[in-house]
Amino acid sequence: MQKRKLGNSGLEVSALGLGCMGMSFSYGPPKDRKEMIALLRGAVERGITFFDTAEVYGPFVNEELVGEALAPVRDRVVIATKFGFDISPTSDPRGMTGGPKLNSRPEHIRSVAEASLKRLRTDSIDLFYQHRVDPDVPIEEVAGAVKELIREGKVKHFGLSEAAVQTIRRAHAVQPVAALQSEYSLWWRRPEAEILPALEELGIGFVPYSPLGRGFLTGKIGPDTTFDSEDFRTKLPRFTPEARQANQALVDLLGTIAKRKKATTAQVALAWLLAQKPWIVPIPGTTKLDRLEENIGAVTLELTGDDLNEIDRAASSIHVQGERYPEQMEKLTGR
């Protein structure tokens, strides 16, 4: 497995990480715990060293799963988790019913860190992201709280998620930001306008989540695909049957390249991301070993300059239909 460094932080991880959310949260009922532990350990055996979780996934159970699975190989892996929500029995972290309550007050950040350390069965969190920017707490205070945790050895690196450029700059001035995690793929390219240039200037790594468009860019989801009632894609405008039908052109484009490269559609989508910058580390999620192995194959898939130009030219003429989130959730991004 190739390695990459997240910007100037010195944090080195596998070129592809593993997003763990779907094992416990969002994409239907939680998966079998023993099977997911086997999958996580299988990922390590195949060279994956970068694992992404969050307290809100479940909530809490995803961190517990990751902690149990990776405890025997803790010295070989990098674990990222997140803070930023108030979690109660009645809270809705997806924001589908009025929106989650944000909380990035310094005392809350500390309490989340302490609890996450226990669930993850570790002495230090490798990368601690603010999950969403809290408009009620100055980002300088957030960065300062994480800086103190780093000084104490409880956290190693500071990250942000879905933050705007000015927020990133202000945070970085207090405590260097190792990585920004935000959505980025061939069907969500907004980070290219302002985010990527700023990250390159500041020496910050980029960790795209949903690099396969929540499964759509794999080519396995069509207009007639049905989702479990607990699958949050049923609430996303981009996943209505009409939007899926309209957006099929993007999948067809990837399929054309894949056929020529003797690869899969998903591998081309991930290889395209990896080719954008050497400090980009996508974190596709999966609950199946064969999909994990397929995704890993993207790391060695070489797209030439001509391939990339062809993809860009064709993609520029395709207008992706549907918003990526409902309005209430979208309000939490880009602050």
Q: Give catalytic residue positions.
A: 57
Could you give the CA distance from residue 76 to residue 270 in angstroms, rounded to a whole number?
24
Give whole-number Cα distances, 59 to 53, 101, 187, 228, in Å.
11, 14, 28, 19
Comparing C-alpha atoms, which of 99, 80, 97 is closest to residue 156?
80
Could you give the CA distance from residue 206 to residue 170 in angstroms, rounded to a whole number?
17
325 touches 334 (CB < 8 A):
no
Could you give the CA distance from residue 113 to residue 79 in angstroms, rounded to a whole number?
13
Phi, psi of 177 (to 5 degrees): -90, 125
Alpha-carbon dihedral sign for residues 216, 219, 220, 221: positive
Could you give the CA distance from residue 233 to residue 218 in angstroms, rounded to a whole number?
15
143 touches 171 (CB < 8 A):
yes
Residue with tokens 């998966």: 31
